[in-house]
Amino acid sequence: MPTPRREFLGWLGASTMFAAAGAPLALPRSAGAQRVPVSDQWDMGWVDRLKGKHRAVFDSPAMAEGDALFRAAMWRDQNKEVYGTDAAELNAVLVVRHAAINLVMNDAFWDRFNLGKEEKLKDSATRKWSKKNPFLTTPPDTPPKYADYSLERFMATGGTVLACNVAFGQVVYQFVKADKLDRAAARQKALEYLVPGVTLQPSGVFAVLCAQEAGCNYILAS
């Protein structure tokens, strides 16, 4: 009998299957008084917005066909299905780092750098390498039960998405190389291609541990 995830990926038209096993590595500490940043270089406001009774951080170091995003959205749906938990009581934090950084880049970036071919992801309509981020928006023909399983809908419905600045350095380097820019100018340009609503953090490891400090259960999700 097909699992919901396989059913979803079959509908999406994914070219390969990747099922990364994720297991909780540590229990979170009780959320206490939050620390105050010494400067405004990094936006830590997301920590203060974690007010739900049930909190989880989904660690995504690999693209893995959007596994971590799928699992974060699925966790919220299943809490509602099993316990009838209100969305306001659920905080899902997705941390995109390492080889998954392209997940938080927009369609223009995917098109310019031919990421569909790099990530081995094909457009379900054309069957050619995708020219856009297939996880960014919800296609119009998406089954209702998967409506929130896109990056934009996940954030619009209360999900938090954090990205590793160390991994983002690779994005910056692509503009250094392609456009012959100095690093400062390349970074400024790269930021224009970052999906709106995604919050950069000093590193993905930093973000994961801050989420745990804020009371999130941890799972390696890709």
Please report the pLDDT score of residue 33 as a whole number. 60
Please report the pLDDT score of residue 20 as a whole number. 35
79 near 90, Cβ under 8 Å? yes
202 near 165, Cβ under 8 Å? yes
Q: What is the pTM of this model?
A: 0.85
Please report the pLDDT score of residue 16 as a whole number. 33
Question: Which parts of the chain register pLDDT below 70?
Answer: 1-33
> Residue 77, SS3?
helix
E strand residue ranges, 102-201: 160-164, 199-201
> Residue 219, SS3?
strand
